[in-house]
C-alpha cells in the first residue's frame, strides 16, 4: 500500500485557492491593519496635548536612528499586510464574480448593508488615501513640510499637520477618506468574525455593535483633527 504525502506548501496553496483561504488571509492581515490604525490614532491624538511639542517628541522617538531596525521591520510588515490584503480581496472578488450565476440579481445571505456593498470601492479609495497621505506627511511631496532639526529626520509633525489641514481641500479629502475608512472598518471587523465562524444569533448583534463603535471611534478621533484646524481651535 502506498501513502501519498502532501507537502505542507502544497497544502497551504490548496487552502489559499479556496475562498476560505483568501478570507483567512484577509482576516489575519486585517487584524494587523486595524491594530496599526488604532496605534496611529493614539499617536495622532497627542496633537491635543497641552505640551505643543509632545507629538514632535513622539515622532523624533520613532525616527531616532537607534530605532531604525524596529521602524523598518514595522513598515515592512505593514506593507506586506496591505499588499496581501489587497491581493486576497481582489482574487476573492473575481472568484465570487466568476461563480455568480447569470441573471443573479440580489444577494440575501451575508450582510447586504450599505457598508458591505461599498467594500469594493471604499477599499481602493482608502488605499489611494494612504498613498496621498504618505506623500503628504511622510515624504513632503504634496505640500511643504518642516523639520525641527534634532537628528537626521525629525519632522515638525505639529506644523505639518496643521498647515496641511488649513487647506480646505486637503482637510475635506481626509474627512471623506475617514468616513469611507469607518464603513470599511465596520464591515471588515464584523466580517472577520464571520470568517472565523463566529456566527450566533446571540453574539452577532453585539459583534456588529462593537465593530460599529470601534469604526466610529477611529473616524471621530481622526476627523476631529482637520475639523479642529478648520474651525481655528487647533493652531500652531
The residue from 28, 62, 116, 163 that contacts ligand HEM (CB under 6 A) is: 62
157 sits near ligand HEM (criterion: CB under 6 A): yes
Q: 162, 226 in Cβ contact below 8 A? A: no
Among 27, 29, 174, 212, binds ligand HEM (CB under 6 A): 174
Q: Site residues for ligand HEM, window 176-215 (CB under 6 A)? A: 181
Contact status: 161 vs ligand HEM (CB under 6 A): yes
| 25, 26, 34, 59: residue in contact with ligand HEM (rule CB under 6 A) | 59
- Which stretch, 3-11, 14-22, 36-44, 101-109, contacts ligand HEM (CB under 6 A)? 36-44
Q: How far apart are CA 221 and CA 42, in angstroms?
A: 9
Does position 80 bind ligand HEM by CB under 6 A?
no
> Judged by CB under 6 A, which of 11, 14, 75, 200 binds ligand HEM?
75
Judge whether 175 and 218 are in contact, CB under 8 Å.
no
Nearer to ligand HEM, 195 or 222 (CB): 222
- The yes or no reply on residue 37 touching ligand HEM (CB under 6 A) is yes
Report in angstroms how near the CB of residue 117 gets to ligand HEM at its nearest.
Answer: 21
* Residue 233 binds to ligand HEM (criterion: CB under 6 A): no
In this structure, the chain runs to a length of: 236
C-alpha grid cell, residue 84 = 496581501
- Comparing CB distances to ligand HEM, the nearer of 16 and 38 is 38
In contact, 150 and 191? CB cutoff 8 Å = no
Minimum CB separation from ligand HEM for residue 96, in Å? 25
Candidate segments 88-96, 110-118, 126-134, 198-206, binder of ligand HEM by CB under 6 A: 126-134
What is each CA distance from 225 to 20, 90, 103, 119, in whole angstroms? Answer: 38, 32, 46, 25
Task: Kindly tell me which residue out of 57, 117, 133, 146 binds ligand HEM, with binding defined by CB under 6 A.
Answer: 133
Q: Does 118 bind ligand HEM (CB under 6 A)?
A: no
How far is residue 37's CA from residue 43's CA, in Å, rounded to a whole number? 10
46, 55 in Cβ contact below 8 A? Answer: yes
Chain residues in the site for ligand HEM (CB under 6 A):
37, 40, 44, 59, 62-63, 75, 130, 133-134, 137-138, 155, 157, 161, 174, 181, 222, 225-226
Amino acid at each position: 500500500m502506498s501513502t501519498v504525502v502532501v507537502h505542507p506548501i502544497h497544502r497551504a496553496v490548496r487552502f489559499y485557492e479556496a475562498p476560505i483561504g483568501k478570507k483567512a488571509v484577509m482576516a489575519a492581515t486585517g487584524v494587523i491593519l486595524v491594530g496599526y490604525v488604532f496605534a496611529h490614532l493614539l499617536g495622532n491624538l497627542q496633537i491635543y496635548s497641552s505640551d505643543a511639542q509632545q507629538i514632535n517628541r513622539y515622532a523624533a522617538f520613532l525616527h531616532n536612528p537607534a530605532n531604525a531596525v524596529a521602524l523598518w521591520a514595522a513598515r515592512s510588515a505593514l506593507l506586506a499586510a496591505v499588499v496581501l490584503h489587497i491581493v486576497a480581496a481582489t482574487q476573492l472578488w473575481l472568484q465570487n464574480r466568476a461563480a455568480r450565476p447569470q441573471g443573479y440579481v440580489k444577494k440575501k445571505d451575508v450582510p447586504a448593508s450599505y457598508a458591505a456593498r461599498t467594500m469594493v470601492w471604499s477599499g481602493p479609495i482608502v488605499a489611494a488615501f494612504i498613498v496621498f497621505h504618505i506623500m503628504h506627511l511622510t515624504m513632503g511631496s504634496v505640500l511643504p513640510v518642516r523639520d525641527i532639526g534634532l537628528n537626521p529626520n525629525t519632522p515638525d509633525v505639529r506644523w505639518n499637520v496643521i498647515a496641511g489641514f488649513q487647506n480646505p481641500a486637503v482637510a475635506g479629502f481626509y474627512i471623506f477618506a475617514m468616513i469611507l475608512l469607518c464603513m470599511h472598518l465596520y464591515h471588515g471587523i464584523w466580517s472577520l468574525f464571520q470568517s472565523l465562524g463566529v456566527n450566533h444569533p446571540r453574539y452577532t448583534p453585539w459583534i456588529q455593535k462593537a465593530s460599529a463603535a470601534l469604526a466610529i471611534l477611529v473616524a471621530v478621533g481622526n476627523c476631529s483633527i482637520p475639523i479642529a484646524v478648520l474651525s481655528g481651535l487647533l493652531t500652531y
